[in-house]
Each structure stands twice: as C-alpha cells, then as structure tokens.
Structure 1
Amino acid sequence: MTMNDPLQATVDALASGQRFLIAAHEGPDGDAMSSTLALTNALREMGKDVVAYNVDGVPDKFCFLPGADTVVSEIAASEHFDVIVILDAGELRRARLDARNLCTTLINIDHHPFSEDFGDIYLVDDKCSATAAMLYRVLMACDYTISTEVALCIYTGILSDTGSFRYSSADPEAFAVAGEMVALGVDPWMVAGGLYESQEVERLQLLGMSLNTLRVSDCRQYAAMTVTQQMLDELGIGPDMADSFVNYPRSIHGVEVALFFRELDQNSYKLGMRSKGTVDVGALARELGGGGHHNAAGAVLHGTLDEVHTQVFERLGAFSAAQ
C-alpha cells in the first residue's frame, strides 16, 4: 500500500512503535547488513525493543559492525512486532520471513528499481545510492542525533553499494553523507581494512580456482567466472567467500558486462551481473526472473553450466542489440 508521504509515515511508525524487527535480503551484502544494523542500533538508542534478523546471519567481513553479534537467523511463528522493516530486499520473499503475519505495520525501505510494493508503507527511491543513505534521510527526519556506531554502519553501507565510490551510483548525496559520517568519528581506514584487507587464505585460493573458469565472449564484450559447489567443498568454505568475484571479469579492458555464476545445486545457478553502463542488466535480469539495478542485477537460472552460460551470452547479445 503506497502512502502519500511515505517518509513521514515511516517516521510516525518508528516513533509510535515499541517492538521492532529489522530484516534485509538473504545472502546479505554490505548495504543490507549495514542498513540492518544502522536502523537496529538507532532504534535501540531511542529506547525501543529491537530484533535484528537475517536468515543467513552475518558474513564474517561485516562482524566489525556494531550490533553484529545480536543478529538472529530464526524467528518463532508465535512472535509479534509492532513494526517490521524490510530493507534493501526488492521483493518480500528475499527476506525469507513471514513478515505479514508477524507484525501490525510492515515497511519496505529500498532503492532497487521495481521494488515490490508490499506491506503498509512503501519508502523506495531507485535514484538513491544505497539503502543506508535512505536510512540517513529517515533518521534525520526523526530528529535523531547520529551516534558513532550508527555512523559507522551508514558509512559502510554507502561505501559498499557504491563500490568504494567507483560506481555511477556515487552521487553528491553519497559523498556528502559519507563525509558527514567521517566527521562524526568514522575511520575510513578501519572500514576499508575490515572490508578489503582481512581476507582468509581460502578466499584467495577460491579466487584462483574461479579465475581458471574465466570465459570471454567472441565479441569480447562479456566475460564470466564460475564457482562450483565442488570448489567450496574442497576448501571447506561457504559461498559468502565468493562475494564480489564478479568485479574481476568486469575489470577486463573492453568488457561491458561481467557475469558471475555460483552453483546452488545440480542444474541450478545464481547469476550476478555487473555492467559498465551501456547495458541495462537490471532489465535483462527481470526478463530472467530476477531483478536489480541498471548496472548491478541477478537471477537464478536452471540448467547445466554450459546451458546457462550459452543462454545468458545469447540473451546479452540480443538484448544489447535491441537497446
């Protein structure tokens, strides 16, 4: 249900509610996890009772975020909350939570194009750099004084979703909010160290295996890498270790679209796509049953690895020609 003034409706719901559940999409990235903890910490500082939830828990590289140790991955069906806020999800199903039956008020805060209009309040701006930046707007409208802990979460969310300010989403608001968070005490080097300078050796071993799968299209405009379940099993690690591998084929000179395939099970692959701007991979992902932004999107595909590779390369060629 779309509200005439969703920002004010969100502020009112946060003010009047006492018991909250804050959730984001499964397989949380930096924006999803940071946004979850930014809002969780802020509401707790306001004296609210808050549960932070993610079905997949907190990836190791985000454990430095304040409140990460309080995130739960299970919610009893008997629980009830005044307000549930779903962040950065695009679709309610991606939160893996029976949210409608667990709360009085359901809020969707997101920045994905075509984000599902679920629940009671729909606060979506697909021009915003990150959900964390949207939460900054919400907290400012609440007259909340941002603490260092919340500033750290907001900064990390914006840094993550703008590719360290390398992506086209890095707009003036993103730089302004990030700068304000630094002024409030956030240490950029500490965040960068947590995100990029503390890799496990197994992740680099996995990267080596995945780079050996590199495949470039005949036109040299598309490139793909793959991680199989066998690779993960051999190293004894989880799929979160492959986070951001898609950026490697994206860095190849002449490549316009990077693809990353991760095996989910036999004949099922999760596809991540990154574009340098000339191809709208969000539109392509929606055709494939997924979703996302112009430059970053994904979907789940079924078939053998060769079949899904061929399908996506062919669709990319046809899709690009039609744009």
Structure 2
Amino acid sequence: MSIKERFRQAISSAKNIVVTTHIYPDADGIGAQIALCLALRKLGKWVIGVNQKSLLQRYHYLDASNLVISAKEFQKNHGKKDIDLLIVTDTNYIARIGPEAEKAVARARNVLFIDHHPCPKEIAAIHCIDTTKAATSELVGEFITLLGVEFTPQIALPLYTGILVDTSSFRYPTVTGDTHLMVAKFMNAGVTPSDAYNLIYGTKKPDHIRLLGKILAQTKTNKSGSMAWISVYEKDLKEYKVDAEDTHAFINHLLVLDNIQLACMFRELPQNQLKISLRSTVDTIDAGAMAQALGGGGHNHSAAAILEGSIDDLLPATLEKLERMLLKK
C-alpha cells in the first residue's frame, strides 16, 4: 500500500480527528498541522489542532481560524470527545509531542505519522513517511491535493511557510522540481513570497542586528574550516532585548563560509539546558545522524539536540564528538 493510499484510508474511516506536532514546534510542523485541519474541515470532519502548549505569538498569523489549542485547553473543553484518528506531523515518535499532549489524546483509536524524517522501517511500513520530501508541508500539500480540496490562501500560506523555513529559503539539496511545483500551487492560491518571508522572519530592530553582529564576530572554526560554530547566551538575549525565537536563522549565516560542511549553533535554554542546532551543506554529512548520536534528531541537512548543562561546560566535549563524526573517526 502506498503512503497516499494509507492516508486516504485513514481519513475516510475517521470522523473526529486531532492533529498535533512535536514539542517546541517549528513552522513546518505547525504549517502542516494547520493546513491539514483546514482541509479536513472542508470535508466535513470534526478536526482540531492540539499541541503541548499554545502557539507562540509569532505563529498566530498562520492560524487565523484559531484551530490550534493547548493540551490543557483540549482536556478542559473536549476531554470526553471520542477521537477516531490522531495525526502527528513532522515527527514519527509519539513521545515527542510532549507529555500533556500525549495524555490528552491517549484515547485516540488510531494514530498516523506524517513526516519526512528518517525512521525505522517498521514505522514507515504503516505510516506516511517520505524522506525524499524537502519538508513535511510539501508532503501534506500532496495529501490535500489527493483529497480534492482546493488550496485557499489560508491553507497555502502555512504550507509555503513550512517549506520556506525548513529548507532555509529553498537552499537545501532536498529541494526538488516537485517542491517548486507544489510551491507554485501555493502561489497560485494567493501566497506572495516576499510577504510570506517578511511575515515569518519579520522586520528587525537595530538591537537585533547588533546582537547578530556580536555573535557572528565570535564565529569559530576547526583547522580545516569544514566545521564552524556560534554560541548564543541568555545574558546577550536579555541585554539586546531579542527573543530567542528570533535567533533560529543565525546559524544560516555560517553556510556561506568557504569549505563549510557542518554549521553548528549552541544556544542556552532556561533551566540549565543547551540546544545544539546543526546544518549540513553536503549529502555526505548527515546532520540528523549526528544529532541522534547526541540524543536529538532531524534530517540530513538540518537537525538539533537538547542537552542538560551549560554552553561552557558542554561545548568542548560536544565539539570533539562532532568533529570525530565529521571525520568519521
């Protein structure tokens, strides 16, 4: 059975559907989630988006119909609702949706992962996983087309944004002609690329540029220049009054360096945690496998892991591990 047939079968037999995504959701997971909710509602399904926490303010414009709620709100208002199908976007591991969300949807009769990240073959055999797609939003675009639902501006914008962000503005090798054909459908539905870019990345205040300049000025590389890294400290975010969510794209500035194969960003999180973001520029360097080795995950060209501890404590050992994996020694 193809993944399209699997998707169609799961949808046809479900009346009440919950769509969720992973904790600390990005634009791809959220975009796929919102677009699916809108498309399935057009088919007459009872559908709602449920996440571990409410959407961050920066993503509210993607959810103009207020379809996505927190797990606590779902428990309060719909806790006794019979759920025929739980759709999980942009991850293929149920624990990644978060404990509150997992508890809220525990009674779902069926679960379907829709994702483009690598997974065990046993999971791929019964879910909708396609690792050739540039983003989960691209795959969801195909599924919505399969359902015969017309792309509206409200459906197309979240999907376009998901692909835009997950491919670092279409720069990863996973972007194909099919990706651009799908993007063309979104544009024909009313998405304007320049507007979509400005909405997700926003205009910046001078302090944002000053912080970026400070961080990039402290860029470090290994001897060969094949690996580069930057560090983002909580104290700097507070000093420059910059939201941590607005630092995601900082790592992409490293991708223009000569000889770069692996870009890394180390960002302090609250409660003594460290987020490590990885970007690979070549097919032979698997950022997802590297992140998995550190306890995280992702796909070939973009991945991340969260560790317990501070940048200063974890940086030396983590860099050593990354360089050993880069050199495969």
| TM-score tier (shorter) | 0.7 to 0.9
SS at match of 1:306: helix
Task: Assess, with a 3 A threshold, how the Cα gap between structure 1 residues 240 and 293 changes in structure 2: closer, same or farther.
Answer: same
RMSD of the alignment, in Å? Answer: 2.7
Q: What TM-score comes out, normalization by structure 2 length? A: 0.86
Return the match for 1:148 from 144, 147, 153: 153
Aligned pair 1:282/2:256, yes or no? Answer: no
Map 1:71-86; keep pairs closer than 5 Å.
Answer: 71-74=68-71, 75-76=74-75, 78-80=79-81, 81-86=83-88
The C-alpha deviation readout for 1:31-55, integer Å capped at 9, x for no partner, is 1111111101111222222211233
Aligned pair 1:301/2:307, yes or no? Answer: yes
Mapped contact 1:38–1:151 kept (Cα < 8 A): yes
- Tell me which moved more, 217-226 or 62-71: 62-71
Task: List runs of 5+ in structure 2 lacking aligned partners.
Answer: none
Aligned pair 1:14/2:20, yes or no? Answer: no
Q: What TM-score comes out, normalization by structure 1 length? A: 0.88
SS at match of 2:141: helix
Map 1:150-189; keep pairs closer than 5 Å.
Answer: 150-189=155-194
Instruction: Look up the equivalent residue of 2:102 and give its one-letter code.
Output: D
The C-alpha deviation readout for 1:216-269, integer Å capped at 9, x for no partner, is 223322111122232334455543122222112233223221111111246531
- Superposition deviation, residue 200 in structure 1: 5.1
Instruction: Look up the equivalent residue of 1:284 and give its one-letter code.
Output: M
Task: Assess, with a 3 A threshold, how the Cα gap between structure 1 residues 142 and 209 changes in structure 2: closer, same or farther.
Answer: same
Return the match for 1:255 from 239, 243, 260: 260
The C-alpha deviation readout for 1:194-215, integer Å capped at 9, x for no partner, is 1234335554454345335432
SS at match of 2:269: strand
- Superposition deviation, residue 117 in structure 1: 5.9
Which is helix-richer, 1 or 2?
2
Whole-angstrom CA distance in 1 between matches of 2:190 and 2:305: 38
Q: Which residue of 1 aligns with 2:251?
A: 246
Return the match for 2:42 from 37, 45, 63: 45
Counting matched residue pairs gives 320
Whole-angstrom CA distance in 1 between matches of 2:138 and 2:239: 39
Whole-angstrom CA distance in 1 between matches of 2:154 and 2:23: 23
Task: Assess, with a 3 A threshold, how the Cα gap between structure 1 residues 40 and 266 changes in structure 2: closer, same or farther.
Answer: closer
Whole-angstrom CA distance in 2 between matches of 1:316 and 1:126: 23
Whole-angstrom CA distance in 2 between matches of 1:60 and 1:285: 28
The C-alpha deviation readout for 1:48-78, integer Å capped at 9, x for no partner, is 2221123343344433324363321223183
Whole-angstrom CA distance in 2 between matches of 1:201 and 1:38: 34
Q: Which residue of 2 aligns with 1:98?
A: 102
Task: Assess, with a 3 A threshold, how the Cα gap between structure 1 residues 295 and 241 changes in structure 2: closer, same or farther.
Answer: same
- Superposition deviation, residue 85 in structure 1: 0.6
Q: Which residue of 2 aligns with 1:134?
A: 139
Task: Assess, with a 3 A threshold, how the Cα gap between structure 1 residues 95 and 199 changes in structure 2: closer, same or farther.
Answer: farther
Task: Assess, with a 3 A threshold, how the Cα gap between structure 1 residues 79 and 91 changes in structure 2: closer, same or farther.
Answer: same
Q: Which residue of 1 aligns with 2:234?
A: 229
Identity %: 27
Whole-angstrom CA distance in 1 between matches of 2:206 and 2:261: 30
Task: List runs of 5+ in structure 1 lacking aligned partners.
Answer: none
Return the match for 1:63 from 49, 60, 63: 60
Whole-angstrom CA distance in 1 between matches of 2:247 and 2:230: 11
- Superposition deviation, residue 318 in structure 1: 1.8
Whole-angstrom CA distance in 2 between matches of 1:265 and 1:124: 33
Mapped contact 1:292–1:298 kept (Cα < 8 A): yes
Aligned pair 1:29/2:35, yes or no? Answer: no
- Tell me which moved more, 294-303 or 75-84: 75-84
Mapped contact 2:275–2:304 kept (Cα < 8 A): yes
Task: Assess, with a 3 A threshold, how the Cα gap between structure 1 residues 233 and 191 changes in structure 2: closer, same or farther.
Answer: same
- Tell me which moved more, 21-30 or 223-232: 223-232
- Tell me which moved more, 283-292 or 171-180: 283-292
Whole-angstrom CA distance in 2 between matches of 1:61 and 1:175: 25
Q: Which residue of 2 aligns with 1:317?
A: 323
